Amino acid sequence: MKLNYKRTLLVGFAFLSISTFWQMYDSIIPLILQNTFQIGEAATGRVMAIDNILALFMLPLFGHLSDNTHTRLGKRTPYIILGTIAAVCFMLMLPIFDRSKNLLGFALCLGVTLFAMATYRSPAVSLMPDVTPKPLRSKGNAIINLMGAVGAVISLALIKLLVPKEGKPDYFPIFAIVAGVMVTAVVVLVLTIRENALVNEMEETGGYESTEAELNEELSKGKKMPKDILKSLIFMLLCIGFFFVGYNAVTTFFSLFMTNYLGTKGGDFASYLMVATISSVVAYIPSGAIATKLGRKKAIMLGLGVMALCFLSMSFVKTAGMFMIPFFVIIGFGYACVIVNTFPIIWEMSKGSDIGKYTGFYYTASMTAQIVTPTVAGFLIEKVFKSYAVLFPYALCAMIISFLMLLNVKHGDSKPEAQKDKLEALAPAGDD
């Protein structure tokens, strides 16, 4: 069984659209809030948590709705199309209100934009497992995350090139180009991916073999998830949650950390994020291969471990410089190992018909973390420590807790390839 890389790349255009927006959002919106509207770190953190508050409720809802939607375009595609159109229309108003310093207009358009983005994230991510055999989903998730990283690099490159070192920036060109990328990506997806046909093909070829959860349900003849799988699911969601507590704190405040603490100018901070993102692009496919060889859980442990070490090192940095580059290379690799393999573990513990709902569970955990952490981190920076120096120690502690949660996950892992080969070697010749 081999992954259809071309198909998966095309499916990944949906995630490219999403990631292009979110990278720009995380980098630019905090700067607008502080520089244009004079909002402090704690309040900025609360504003940056709004999208996650919306997502906490909307991602499981729209994941579930898409599970039960049946149209000529498929289950997921209508949400992707409509969500993108609405998001693009309102996001283009944000730099206009920034230019005019209209806080009310900015806030209203930001709210609608975030609402629109939340309507199609779960359907977009759920599209990949819908059309990918279960044993290949770590590799498939690597591909769509690679596409997402490409989108992030596009946004970071725009910020690096178009944000001036001096004076008030005009962000409209960045927003306009990002909007164009989002629309183009979705057009490519719609023109090349026939969702219903691919789902039917998966059903006919037996690509939807039973997950671990379904097999256990069949054995127990029960309707509820077995307690041991439920326990693993809870700890996996906690692992995901604490990972995003640390990671989102860094992404939310990194532009401010670099400009206000390390003294970088203009869009120079984006260079380091580009290094991490390009590193993750390079690492996505290898991280899927690592999971195939060692198992998903060990791959995640590796990712959390190296990210924790880099956050520890960054805790002692006082000035920006080229010496930081290796840290961000390693952070990108660690991020890839975590992101590529957490989703497949969740999917493996779901029933095939509930992929969208379980994708929503994933986002519930991640978004809950991202509601809490901007506010908490902002409060610590502004009120308690009165310094951005606390940012990376805070992220380090979150990574350690995430690692400890992962140790309690006993289900949803993939079997290492080496073990599979040994079993196959024991089988009599001619057995299928």
Q: Which amino acid is at 335?
A: Y
Q: How far apart are CA 123 and CA 82, in angstroms?
A: 12
Token digits of residue 298: 């060990």
Total-model pTM: 0.72
Which residues neighbour 87 within 8 Å (Cβ) at sequence distance 6 or greater?
21, 113, 116, 117, 182
Q: How far apart are CA 212 and CA 224, in angstroms?
A: 14
The CATH number given to whatever domain includes residue 95 is 1.20.1250.20
Measured from the Cβ of residue 136, the count of other Cβ atoms closer than 10 Å reads 20
At 428 the three-state DSSP class reads: coil
Structural domain for 24, as ranges: 5-424
Token digits of residue 345: 């573990």
Token digits of residue 313: 């090192």
Residue 421, pLDDT score: 44
Which parts of 131-208 fold into alpha helices (H)? 137-162, 172-192, 195-205
Residue 432 lies in a domain: no
Q: How far apart are CA 412 and CA 254, in angstroms?
A: 33
Token digits of residue 126: 């759920």
For the four alpha carbons of 72, 73, 78 and 82, in that order, the dihedral sign comes to negative
At 95 the three-state DSSP class reads: helix
- 351, 214 in Cβ contact below 8 A? yes
Residue 236, pLDDT score: 95
For the four alpha carbons of 383, 42, 271 and 125, in that order, the dihedral sign comes to positive
Q: Which long-range contacts (CB under 8 A, 24 or more apart) does 292-296 make?
A: 292/138, 292/139, 292/414, 292/416, 292/417, 293/416, 293/417, 293/418, 294/416, 295/413, 295/414, 295/415, 295/416, 296/138, 296/341, 296/344, 296/345, 296/412, 296/413, 296/414
- 118, 18 in Cβ contact below 8 A? no
Closest CA relative to residue 299, chosen from 283, 281, 277, 282: 283
Residue 424, pLDDT score: 39
- 229, 351 in Cβ contact below 8 A? no
Give the total number of structural domains in the chain. 1
For tokens 């991020």, the residue is 335
Measured from the Cβ of residue 219, the count of other Cβ atoms closer than 10 Å reads 9
Which residues neighbour 190 within 8 Å (Cβ) at sequence distance 6 or greater?
73, 77, 80, 81
Q: What is the pLDDT along the chain (432 residues), one digit of tens a residue?
A: 678 888 889 999 998 999 999 999 988 999 999 899 998 888 888 888 888 788 777 877 888 888 888 898 888 999 999 999 999 999 999 999 999 999 999 999 999 999 999 888 888 888 888 888 777 776 787 788 788 888 999 999 999 899 887 778 899 999 999 999 999 999 999 999 988 888 888 776 655 555 555 555 543 444 677 888 889 999 999 999 999 999 999 988 998 899 889 989 888 888 999 999 899 888 888 887 888 888 899 999 999 999 999 999 999 999 998 999 999 999 999 999 998 889 888 878 876 556 767 777 887 888 889 888 988 999 999 999 999 999 999 999 999 999 999 999 998 886 554 444 443 333 433 443
Residue 409, pLDDT score: 93
Closest CA relative to residue 74, chosen from 170, 219, 201, 264: 201
Residue 430 lies in a domain: no
Residues in the chain: 432
Residue 77 lies in a domain: yes
Residue 429 lies in a domain: no
Residue 276, pLDDT score: 93
Q: Look up residue 260 and give its DSSP letter.
A: I
Q: Which helix (H) or strand (E) holds 48?
A: helix 41-48
Residue 206, pLDDT score: 56
At 240 the three-state DSSP class reads: helix
Token digits of residue 266: 């203009």
- 11, 125 in Cβ contact below 8 A? no
End-to-end CA distance of the chain: 14
Q: Which helix (H) or strand (E) holds 193?
A: none
